[in-house]
Amino acid sequence: MTEPAWTPGGSNLVVHADNAAYLPTLPDGAFTMIYVDPPFNTGRAQRRQQLSMVRNADGTGDRVGFKGMSYSTVKGMLASYDDAFEDYWDFLAPRLAEAWRLLAEDGTLYLHLDYREVHYAKVMLDSLFGRECFLNEIIWAYDYGARAKRKWPAKHDNILVYVKDPARYHFNSAEVDREPYMAPGLVTAEKAALGKLPTDVWWHTIVSPTGREKTGYPTQKPEGLLRRAVAASSREGDWVLDFFAGSGTLGAVAGKLGRRFVCVDQNPQAVEIMRRRLAPYCEPAGRSSA
């Protein structure tokens, strides 16, 4: 089967493909918002020991150097890093460069990671987009699962937000769901009834294993999380894209909010789940795949 072709006036798409092969088929600037939640790569550890030479006046060094001088070998920092990390950024960097190309001039990228990769990602996106294009780091805070006893239990993810053009990006906070005030007694009744705008820390439960939202796909993200991002950073009718789409959470939110979407995943199980979940928003032809 051939991959469905995207056209500006066409149907929402669920695409079964390696995103590296599919993204180059899409035209520049087609998407107002891109959300991606790539897989984490935990792999083999590489260790590198730094060594340096220090001249040794009393001749007791372990090496002889220039003009017969004695030198001692001094062990420096033991650098240890996950070998898969190098592979990971080789994998992710070109795909994020495609994301930049595909964003409209008023567009926004949301990159969902966790503490393992987010700091490297910040440096990489600063160089790809420009530091002035960094908008936010959103912390998604949740509370479930076991608690480590020998360190602070990690209970948050990080979402880096970059805009294509800091002078032109779309952001409409009026569209965002509001939160209850922590101390409603300290504000007027009207304000308390309206609630407050969320900050860059979003408390939200994970997808409940028994809830209606659950698709059975691992690492499924809650719709409530993505609803905020889609509502603020796109308008009705705009195109949004997720090229690590998994169970299609971005598509589900986009469909409900009247945005148009392209969801790409290379895993056949993900595509099967998305086709079922996103069927109400896709024309049958738009659900064919590679």
Of residues 85-144, those binding ligand SAM (CB under 6 A) = none
> Which residue reads 């906070």 in tokens?
173
| Candidate ranges 58-66, 172-180, 227-235, 244-252; the one touching ligand SAM (CB under 6 A) | 244-252
- Fill in the per-residue mask, 20 to 59: x = in contact with ligand SAM (CB under 6 A), - = not in contact: x----------------xxx--------------------
Closer of 16 and 260 to ligand SAM (Cβ): 16
Q: What is the dihedral of CA 24, 138, 38, 257, to 10 degrees?
A: -60
For 186-210, the DSSP string reads GS-HHHHHH-B---SEEE-PPPPTT
| Candidate ranges 48-56, 66-74, 233-241, 246-254; the one touching ligand SAM (CB under 6 A) | 246-254
Closer of 126 and 213 to ligand SAM (Cβ): 213
The minimum distance between CB 138 and ligand SAM, in angstroms, equals 15
Say if residues 206 and 222 touch (Cβ distance below 8 Å). Answer: yes
Say if residues 206 and 142 touch (Cβ distance below 8 Å). Answer: yes
Q: At 155, which amino acid appears?
A: K
- Fill in the per-residue mask, 207 to 226: x = in contact with ligand SAM (CB under 6 A), - = not in contact: ----------x-xxx-----
For residue 25, which phi and psi values (nearest 5 degrees)?
Answer: -80, -10
Q: Give the residue, chosen from 6, 249, 257, 277, that forms a contact with ligand SAM under the rule CB under 6 A.
A: 249
Closest by CA to 34, choosing from 258, 283, 238, 274, is: 238
Q: Would you count residue 289 as binding ligand SAM (CB under 6 A)? A: no
Q: Are strands 13-16 and 239-242 parallel, antiparallel or unpaired?
A: unpaired
The minimum distance between CB 199 and ligand SAM, in angstroms, equals 23
Q: Alpha helix locations (H) across the chain?
A: 19-22, 83-102, 118-129, 189-194, 223-233, 249-256, 268-277
Q: Would you count residue 266 as binding ligand SAM (CB under 6 A)? A: yes
What tokens appear for 111 in the block? Answer: 């990159």
Q: Would you count residue 18 as binding ligand SAM (CB under 6 A)? A: yes
The minimum distance between CB 16 and ligand SAM, in angstroms, equals 9
| Candidate ranges 2-10, 142-150, 156-164, 264-272; the one touching ligand SAM (CB under 6 A) | 264-272
Closest by CA to 264, choosing from 95, 135, 132, 127, is: 95
Closer of 169 and 244 to ligand SAM (Cβ): 244
Positions that interact with ligand SAM (CB under 6 A): 18-20, 37-39, 217, 219-221, 244, 246-247, 249, 264-267, 270
